[in-house]
């Protein structure tokens, strides 16, 4: 548990951080909450030569609604999500997700931006953001660009971020009336990565017919997965048990997990089906309770 030697930089501004990235390229890693990076460094699985600590940069911690979006600053801590009235009242899926991450001590430091930028399919926010059709804002030497979340996760631990870019904001389209979401995570114990997890977000009309459906899968493959066949199937259909069940099977078809100590692939696929059912059912309940 002893990391290799590294240089530590603590920029005060975003441009300063970006110029450090330009200077050091692949040899540098951004440190935000550090809850994944530090353990990897201590086990020498990650050996960055430069650690760029962005925690001194102001203006990256916020949760606000603006221009039809929920905007979350990249340095927003999981604990901030849990405490936010806005999140608690309008975004049950995000609240569920924040609660399911590790333990309170970790959530005091862990950031939403880090959870996404790490590119780990076992992290929880990727599935949530896939279900919510979020956009990720990347800031680089040439300014900001927005990346649809669907295009963000490239492969294991690799995202669409360029080596000279920093993830600065997450934008989530404000949900229409009668929306609801839920996150279900199967874990062996608190603090464990998900055996699998399912994030579901739906919007219904007055008759209970599905207007929008988003489903994201955690730890069900090499990257976070958007269960698009299931989403498409649900649109325009009443969200009854039969349709939910069928959507759950379609979501399971999209899962291609590997076997490990959390269970054989067959089990995990079945759990995607089971948790999709549970997540959709809860999401529908929450949506119908909304006015």
Partner 1 sequence: MLAKTLPEIGGMGHPIKRKEDLRFIQGKGNYIDDVQLPGMIYGHMVRSPYAHARITAIRTEEAKKLPGVLAVITGEDLAKANLAWMPTLFHDKQMVLATGKVLFQSQEVAFVVAEDRYTAADAADLVEIDYEELPVLIDPHKSQDSDAPILREDREEKSNLIFHWEVGDRAATDQAMKSAPVTAKVNAFFPRCHPAPLETCGCVIDFNSATGKLTAWITSQAPHAHRTVFALVAGLPEQNIRVISPDIGGGFGNKVPVYPGYVCAAVAALTVGRPVKWIETRSENLQSTGFARDYHMEAELAADKEGRLKALRVKTLADHGAFNAAAQPTKFPAGLFSICTGSYDFSSAFCEVDGVYTNKAPGGIAYRCSFRVTEAAYLIERAMDVLAQELKLDPVELRRKNFIPPEKFPYSSPLGWSYDSGNYQGALDLALERIGYNDLRKEQAEKRERGELMGIGISSFTEIVGAGPSHTFDILGLKMFDSAELRVHPTGKAIMRMGTKSQGQGHETTYAQIVAQELGIPAADVAIEEGDTDTAPYGLGTYASRSTPTSGAAAALAARKVREKARKIAAHLLEVSEEDLEWEPGKFSVKGAPGKSKTIQEIAFAAYTNFPQGMEPGLEAVHYYDPPNLTFPFGTYIAVVDIDKGTGEVKVRRFVAVDDCGNIINPMIVEGQVHGGLTEGLAIAFMQEISYDESGNIQGGTFMDYLVPTAVETPHWETGHTCTPSPHHPFGAKGVGESPNVGSPAAFVNAVVDALSHLGVKHIDMPLSPWKIWQILKDKGVTQ
Instruction: Indicate the DSSP class of residue 217.
Output: E
Concatenating the DSSP letter of every residue in 131-178 gives HTT-EEEEEETTEEEEEEGGGTEEETTEES--TT-EEEEEEEEPPPSS
CB of 98 to partner 1, least distance (A): 16
Closest CA to 138 of 106, 160, 107: 160
75 versus 122: smaller Cβ distance to partner 1: 122
222 vs 264, beta carbon nearer partner 1: 264
CA-nearest of 269, 270, 198, 284 to 234 is: 284
The CB-of-140 to partner 1 minimum distance in angstroms stands at 33
- Degrees, nearest 5: CA angle 276-177-107: 55
Closest approach, Cβ 185 to partner 1, in A, equals 11
**Other CB atoms within 10 Å distance of the CB of residue 83:** 12
Q: Say if strands 158-159 and 153-155 run parallel, antiparallel, or are unpaired.
A: antiparallel
Nearer to partner 1, 148 or 191 (CB): 191
Place of tokens 């801590």: 77
Least distance CB 182 / partner 1 (angstroms):
15
Residue 23 or residue 105: which is nearer to partner 1 going by CB?
105
| Nearest to partner 1 of 206, 261 (CB atom) | 261
Q: DSSP secondary structure string, 34-72? A: -TTHHHHHHTTS---SEEEE-TT-TT---EEEETTEEEE
Give the nearer residue to partner 1 in terms of CB position, either 159 or 195. Answer: 195
What are the residues facing 182 on neighbouring strands?
200
Q: Which is nearer to partner 1, 120 or 135 (CB)?
A: 120
CB-nearer residue toward partner 1: 243 or 270: 270
CB of residue 193 to partner 1, shortest distance in Å: 8
Q: How far is the CB of 81 from partner 1 (least distance, A)?
A: 20
CA gap 185, 172 in Å, rounded: 21
| Binding site residues, partner 1, CB under 8 A | 1-2, 4-5, 43-44, 103, 186, 188-193, 195, 261-264, 267, 270-271, 273-275, 277-278
In the chain the first and final C-alpha atoms are separated, in Å, by: 52
Shortest approach of partner 1 to residue 43 CB, angstroms? 8
Please report which helix (H) or strand (E) contains residue 243, including its range: helix 241-254
Two structure tokens written together for 14? 């975003």
Q: How far is the CB of 20 from partner 1 (least distance, A)?
A: 24
């Amino acid at each position: 548990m002893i990391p290799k030697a590294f240089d530590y930089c603590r920029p005060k501004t975003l441009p300063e951080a970006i110029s450090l990235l330009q200077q050091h390229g692949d040899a540098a890693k951004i440190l935000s909450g550090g809850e994944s990076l530090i353990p990897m460094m201590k086990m020498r699985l990650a050996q960055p030569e430069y650690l760029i600590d962005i925690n001194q940069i102001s203006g990256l911690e916020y949760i606000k609604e603006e221009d039809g979006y929920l905007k979350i600053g990249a340095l927003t801590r999981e604990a901030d999500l849990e405490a936010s009235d806005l999140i608690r009242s309008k975004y049950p899926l995000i609240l569920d997700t924040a609660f399911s991450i590790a333990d309170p001590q970790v959530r005091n430091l862990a950031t939403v931006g880090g959870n996404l930028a790490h590119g780990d399919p076992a992290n929880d926010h990727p599935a949530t953001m896939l279900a919510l059709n979020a956009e990720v804002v990347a800031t680089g030497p040439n300014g900001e660009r927005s990346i649809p979340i669907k295009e963000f996760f490239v492969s294991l631990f690799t995202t669409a971020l360029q080596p000279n870019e920093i993830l600065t904001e997450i934008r989530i389209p404000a949900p229409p009336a009668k929306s609801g979401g839920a996150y279900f995570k199967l874990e062996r114990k608190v603090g464990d990565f998900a055996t699998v997890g399912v994030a579901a977000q739906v919007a219904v009309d007055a008759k209970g017919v599905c207007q929008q459906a988003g489903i994201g899968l955690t730890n069900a493959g090499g990257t976070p997965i958007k269960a698009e066949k299931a989403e498409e199937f649900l649109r325009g259909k009443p969200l009854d048990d039969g349709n939910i069940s069928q959507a759950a099977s379609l979501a399971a078809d999209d899962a291609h997990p590997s076997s490990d100590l959390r269970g054989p692939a067959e089990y995990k696929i079945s759990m995607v089906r089971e948790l999709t059912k549970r997540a959709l059912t809860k999401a529908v309940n929450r949506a119908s309770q909304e006015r």
